[in-house]
Amino acid sequence: MDIKRAVKTQESIFNMLKKAKANGRLSHAYLFYGEEGTGKKEMAFALAALHYCPNGGCLECDVCKTVLSGNHMNVDYIGIAEDKKLISKDQISSLQEEFSKTSLVEGTRIYIVDGIDTATSAAQNSLLKFIEEPINKTPTVGIFIAKDLSNVVSTIQSRCIIEHFNAIDHASRAKILIESGYEPLDSILATDLTNNPDEAIEIIKNNNFRTFVEALLELITVEKPKDAVYYYLNNVSIFSSSENLKVLLSWYLLFLEDANVCVGNDSNLILYPLCDKIITYRKKNERRLRDLLEMTLSLFKKLNANVTAKNVFHELTVKII
């Protein structure tokens, strides 16, 4: 979790929080919502650090580092357990029990509930008194994180400052990885699969990633029936998995979209590192680009309708030529 990087992508929200802190107007409850990978969790820890930082929220001092690493004694975090799909009532009860004890460290106590929209209404409502009436008269701040605002009970929403986290556009996500030292093509392809730059980095590090990239580059060179047969036989074991095939189709769709708009330069291309290949592909397939786009979208629908990946991959190799 690269908190400083994530905060930079949502800088306007952090600046608003810093201004509120400087003016003594930080709230006792916040609700951050938006798509996965938009920096909500990172901002929650940055807000926690802001309460204690002697430098107005530098995110670099020892105090900030203690908070951001999850080691500050007055900051508690609960999220969805790996083997669960939601925040449980027991987790919330345990949090309340922990806050009923006197802290060894003076100052505001902060709790972060990541996935509040997954908790039952009863579990959410059990937090209401906790939000409004600090235990032991200790100043308390609650930070709630959600993907779907509609699943957060209105009684919690009404008690919080609500901040929406806009999705980071594809180009900006890729730029983050490129600036971190990753190859442009790898950065663009990985960030097509997730909004979260940290997850995109893990995707690049995955052993399958290079295999998928090579499969895409081979796919766009298939022109003759014998090439298609060879491509199918060489890759069917990999793309008999629905998840793997969705990756390939997603990238091929990006390539086709670029080929459809290409005007001889890379200024308007998503996959600009493949500019030469895109131009060549467009020249050879200009009359059937629309059909190829429709075919690829239809294959996505078949996968989502539980048609076997092997059959869908076979159809791809037959219809691409």
174-208 pLDDT, tens digit per residue, is 998 999 999 999 999 999 999 888 889 999 999 89
Q: Residue 268: is its pLDDT beyond 90? A: no
Domain boundary among 136, 165, 194: 165
Entry pTM: 0.76
- Number of Cβ within a 10 Å radius of residue 62: 7
Do 141 and 219 lie in a common domain? Answer: no
Do 68 and 12 lie in a common domain? Answer: yes
- Number of Cβ within a 10 Å radius of residue 53: 19
Do 9 and 95 lie in a common domain? Answer: yes
Q: Is residue 313 part of a domain?
A: yes
CB 44 within 8 A of CB 10: no
Do 156 and 215 lie in a common domain? Answer: no
206-220 pLDDT, tens digit per residue, is 989 999 999 999 999
Q: Is residue 38 part of a domain?
A: yes
Q: Is residue 157 part of a domain?
A: yes
pLDDT band at 135 (very low <50, low <70, confident <90, very high): low
* Cα(232)–Cα(242) distance, integer angstroms: 15
Q: Is residue 194 part of a domain?
A: no
Do 119 and 262 lie in a common domain? Answer: no
Q: What pLDDT, on the 0 to 100 scale, is given for residue 256?
A: 96
Question: How many domains are there within the chain?
Answer: 2
Assign residue 123 the CATH number of its domain: 3.40.50.300
Closest CA to 105 of 56, 63, 55: 63
Q: Which amino acid is at 32?
A: F
Q: Is residue 185 part of a domain?
A: no
72-105 pLDDT, tens digit per residue, is 989 999 998 777 788 888 888 888 888 877 776 7
Do 262 and 144 lie in a common domain? Answer: no
Residue 77: burial class (beta carbons within 10 Å; 0-12, 13-18, 19+):
middle
Measure CA of the first residue to CA of the last residue in the chain; give whole Å: 43
Matching residue, tokens 């905060």: 7
Q: Residue 2: is its pLDDT beyond 80? A: no
Do 131 and 262 lie in a common domain? Answer: no
What are residue 57's DSSP bridge partners? none
State which residues form the domain around 113.
3-165
